[in-house]
Structure 1
């Protein structure tokens, strides 16, 4: 039902205050209009007796409400971090990653180690909707955003949103939005010019400059280009390369994603990747409440209240970059990454200068003579073993993995220890509890007058679970404040 796990009084206060910290945490359904809204909706607040609260957009949709055209629920960030049930988080991550587009509810339940009945009950109890309803609502909201913000044809919108039939799309959109897609298209203003631009919402605060600075120091030359106010990179395949640019909206808690030469079918995946890179679905209320009892972390939060965990574009790319960075400085690792791309990457004719390389795939590196770029023999062997493990399916970077399972698979590979495994989990998977306990900077910062052991660092971190990755970022930035050399 609509009040599942929601504090009605808190929801009422957040709704009346239009508190952006609760955007996506709950949805307001208005009985008199049949519409559901974000807490930040600019429309005149309805009377309390006409309001019902739902824990997800899917729950409101399942109850028969349609999405608001003013506040646009499709722009709300996810609230996955607020769900402390591990299997629910994993299930949502898989659905967000498109699992149900090709596979069944039974397959999803099996992946999570549950029966289909257990999975359905878990979603209904916590989200007020079944996994299928969550998936259907996500598809509908993606279509609604593409209709509102792009000039893509309705057929392309349907395909991009995951509908294999235009007839089914039209029927689903009419049922969910009480209008045909063509009617919404006529009502909306769309951007003009080359490419297309999408709005990506988040719950403030977001320290976008700090995120860019972190990513800039680790950018892969030829593949990424990160300026003072934007992130750019190559997308797509060597046969059909594209380009994207991410910048901050100066007036709204949103990023702007500009895409060029991108097939419509790729748009949802690109949106997911950008959201992961900038950690746009983070709920910093929960993170800060857990970390602020540690004085050192409270200091970090006070300095950078909008700091998040910077993710990576591609799991294999992050993993290679992590191995290149073993036992060397950030600058030295970037030099090695540039050599790797120049020697083993694919040149992309016609792309912008500085964004004309496709990062090598596992198949490109599995037999590569990596010593040619200046790698020590042991680290070159580690990279080849990593590439082989990815090719053979012994290691992957798919959504919905548990931190423990991923780390165990990583450290089973020669040359990859817990530090590298947790760093990959932190950046490639967006695991909020990843914690490279052996990191020298962490051990120095936590020890203050002395350097903690890895075991002591691990023990100290237990109080910060499940948000240790955020503690890592704050400690690295605090260390960076004290030295000219960037943190790991």
Structure 2
């Protein structure tokens, strides 16, 4: 079934915040701030493009606008070879928060490994309701969304890497090369090898040689601020910031490779991957995009938070500051627990000792798994006994399956010894799943909003209430300002309060 395109009729409910006129103006201006928020279908050529496409703009009467690449492909259109829709940042900011979080999990490959019924159950809704939400918000069925995700990932790897087509098929989530070829031909009308010949991807390789991929984002983006954040928090033996790039070891089974992320040309980062199997690429891309907050719509977030005079001034001094996240939910929880009531430097020192002890006992230079953490001797590691018990309690709960960090509620986490509201709020904020998470009891935030004095928690909550649903970004901006020029922030706070 063909989905209705975006227009000005009552049936157009797929992008409630963007009118046809807004899409028209954005594509003519090639406005990068709208990249990924909609796609332009050109009916006369049968292709769909990003709003930044460098090709000559088609006439408006030949154009239809779609809320997602999946909707355009379900309408029978093929991706443009010039602007490459597979590289567009995601537009989860246009979606209800709960649906956006679920879609992010699908972007990470959960629907490839599981079922829609399981995702619906975890979201607390019926499968029928979830299907209706896909049609409403994305203009496509769940099946089409997942198929488009796989095909566009395969197209990206065909174009940007010299990986063998068989490796690409399995990396994209297809269970056989035949299924991949069939799906590709039905969607794009040509064989995968034909696209590779057209694009000239180079000599085909197999195995685990170095690969380089481009990761676009919508401007503004303060890459230097992100590097400064990760430089201060790099865990010895696991990660480092060297020069203008972030590097870390990454284990997949028994294979250990490493990745490097740095500023690329234009509005993009460059990801270099060494010694990892092709099947690890989807998960790696998902982690990096989430960690570096590459899909944020800073225009929308800035407009909303800019209604607050203090945040408007902070934004004017430090535009493009994002919400840095961690590698995964488990690592972020370890960081949050170890970081309770200690400096960042002190917490990183302890985490480095955890990596060293794990390597000494288990032969792996990594943070301990829950099972390993339960077996480690943590005496003399630099933490009070109460915090050691918190780590061991978390490890036991995770190892036994009593909780899963992917689905844990606040109530389940609060039931663990030593985990309180600050730890949960900070953990959710740094996981990259909840942009509204806000640790109101954080001392730095209290002083940031109090002009250098500790503002009471009720006052912090009252002042931050209008910032919803982007309070996490407000916290990130305030933390950054306090680390860069606290005296300026205190001056701004005092002048606005006068």
Q: Same fold (TM over 0.5)?
A: yes
Identify which range, 474-483 or 267-276, moves more after superposition.
474-483
User: Could you say if the C-alpha distance between residues 86 and 309 of structure 1 is closer, same or farther in structure 2, counting changes exceeding 3 Å?
Assistant: closer
Q: Pairwise mapping of residues 128-139 of structure 1 onto structure 2 (< 5 A)?
A: 128-139=139-150
Equivalent position SS for 1:414: coil
1: CA distance, partners of 2:223 / 2:202: 23
Asked whether 1:270 is paired with 2:284, we answer yes
Identify which range, 118-127 or 339-348, moves more after superposition.
339-348
Asked whether 1:97 is paired with 2:108, we answer yes
1:42 Cα deviation from its structure 2 partner: 0.5
What does residue 215 of structure 2 align with? 200
1:481 Cα deviation from its structure 2 partner: 2.3
1:483 Cα deviation from its structure 2 partner: 5.3
Asked whether 1:153 is paired with 2:161, we answer no
2: CA distance, partners of 1:82 / 1:266: 29
1:56-103 residue CA offsets vs partner (Å, 9 max, x unmatched):
0000000000001110000001001111x2442233123112221122
User: Could you say if the C-alpha distance between residues 107 and 146 of structure 1 is closer, same or farther in structure 2, counting changes exceeding 3 Å?
Assistant: same
2: CA distance, partners of 1:105 / 1:325: 37
Q: Is the 8 A contact 1:311 1:428 kept in 2?
A: yes
2: CA distance, partners of 1:336 / 1:106: 41
Asked whether 1:296 is paired with 2:310, we answer yes
1:113 Cα deviation from its structure 2 partner: 2.2
Equivalent position SS for 2:272: strand
Asked whether 1:23 is paired with 2:35, we answer yes
Q: Is the 8 A contact 2:358 2:366 kept in 1?
A: no
Q: Is the 8 A contact 1:55 1:127 kept in 2?
A: yes
Query: Cα RMSD between the aligned structures?
Result: 1.9
1:190 Cα deviation from its structure 2 partner: 3.5
2: CA distance, partners of 1:383 / 1:456: 32
1:183-224 residue CA offsets vs partner (Å, 9 max, x unmatched):
011122437895111111111111111001011111111100
What does residue 361 of structure 1 align with? 369
User: Could you say if the C-alpha distance between residues 129 and 346 of structure 1 is closer, same or farther in structure 2, counting changes exceeding 3 Å?
Assistant: farther
Equivalent position SS for 2:380: helix
**Where does structure 1 lack aligned partners over 5 or more consecutive residues?**
350-355
What does residue 352 of structure 1 align with? none
1:13 Cα deviation from its structure 2 partner: 0.4
Asked whether 1:467 is paired with 2:470, we answer yes
1:417-437 residue CA offsets vs partner (Å, 9 max, x unmatched):
111111111112431011000
1:419 corresponds to which of 418, 422, 425: 422
1:256 corresponds to which of 239, 256, 270: 270
Q: Is the 8 A contact 2:293 2:432 kept in 1?
A: no
Q: Is the 8 A contact 2:252 2:276 kept in 1?
A: no
1: CA distance, partners of 2:26 / 2:463: 35
1:371 Cα deviation from its structure 2 partner: 2.4
**Where does structure 2 lack aligned partners over 5 or more consecutive residues?**
7-13, 488-498
1: CA distance, partners of 2:120 / 2:353: 43
2: CA distance, partners of 1:325 / 1:333: 5
Q: Is the 8 A contact 1:201 1:253 kept in 2?
A: yes
Asked whether 1:57 is paired with 2:69, we answer yes
What does residue 409 of structure 1 align with? 412
The aligned length equals: 471
What does residue 440 of structure 2 align with? 437
User: Could you say if the C-alpha distance between residues 90 and 477 of structure 1 is closer, same or farther in structure 2, counting changes exceeding 3 Å?
Assistant: closer
1:279 corresponds to which of 293, 307, 325: 293
Asked whether 1:106 is paired with 2:117, we answer yes
2:256 corresponds to which of 216, 223, 241: 241
